[in-house]
Structure 1
Amino acid sequence: MTTALAAGVPRAEGLLLRPFRPEDGPALVEIHRDPVLRRYVRNRVTDPGGAARWLAAEDRGRAEGGRYSFAVLEQGALVGQVVLKRGAPGSAASEVGYWTAAAARGRGVAPRALAALTAWASETFAADGLVRLDLFHEGDNAASCRVAEKAGYPFEAYVPAAPPHYPLDGHWHSRPAGSAGAAG
Structure 2
Amino acid sequence: MTLAIAPAIPAGTLAATAQPALPSRDGDLLLRPWEAADAPVLQRAYEDPSIRRWHMHHVTSPAEARDWIAASHRSWQQEQAAQWAITRGGDDVLGRIALLRPDLLHGLAECGYWVLPHARGTGVAPRALATLAAWALDEAGFHRLELAHSTANDASCRVATKSGFALEGTRRSAHLQPDGWHDMHLHARVQGDT
TM range (shorter): 0.7 to 0.9
* 4+ aligned runs moved over 6 Å, structure 1: none
CA contact 1:67–1:86 (8 Å) conserved in 2: yes
- Tell me if structure 1 keeps the 8 A contact 2:22–2:31: yes
Q: Which amino acid aligns with 2:120?
A: R
SS of the residue corresponding to residue 22 of structure 2 reads coil
| Conservation of the 8 A alpha-carbon contact between 2:22 and 2:132 | yes
Write the distance in 2 (CA, Å) between the matches of 1:160 and 1:23: 40
Q: State how far apart, in whole Å, the 2-side matches of 1:83 and 1:145 are.
A: 17
Bigger drift between 18-27 and 72-81 goes to 72-81
For residues 162 and 150 of structure 1, the distance between their equivalents in structure 2, rounded to whole angstroms, comes to: 24
- Cα distance in 2, alignment partners of residues 106 and 154 from structure 1: 21
Name the structure with the higher strand share. 2
Deviation at residue 90 of structure 1 after TM alignment: 2.1
Residue identity (%)? 37
Match of 2:76 in 1: 62
Contact 2:21/2:30 (<8 A) preserved: no
Paired residue type of 1:159: R
Q: Which runs of 5+ in 1 are unaligned?
A: none
Per the TM alignment, residue 161 of structure 1 is displaced from its structure 2 partner at its CA by 2.0
Q: Which moved more, 1:45-54 or 1:148-157?
A: 45-54
**Who is 1:80 aligned against?**
95
Alignment of 1:23 with 2:40, yes or no, is no
How many residue pairs get aligned? The number is 177
Q: CA deviation at 1:57?
A: 2.2
Render the CA deviation track for 1:71-102: whole Å, top value 9, x for unaligned.
Answer: 00125211111111252322232111111011
Give unpaired runs (5+ residues) of structure 2: 1-8
Please state which structure has a larger fraction of its residues in helix: 1
Query: How far 1:6 moved relative to its partner?
Result: 6.2
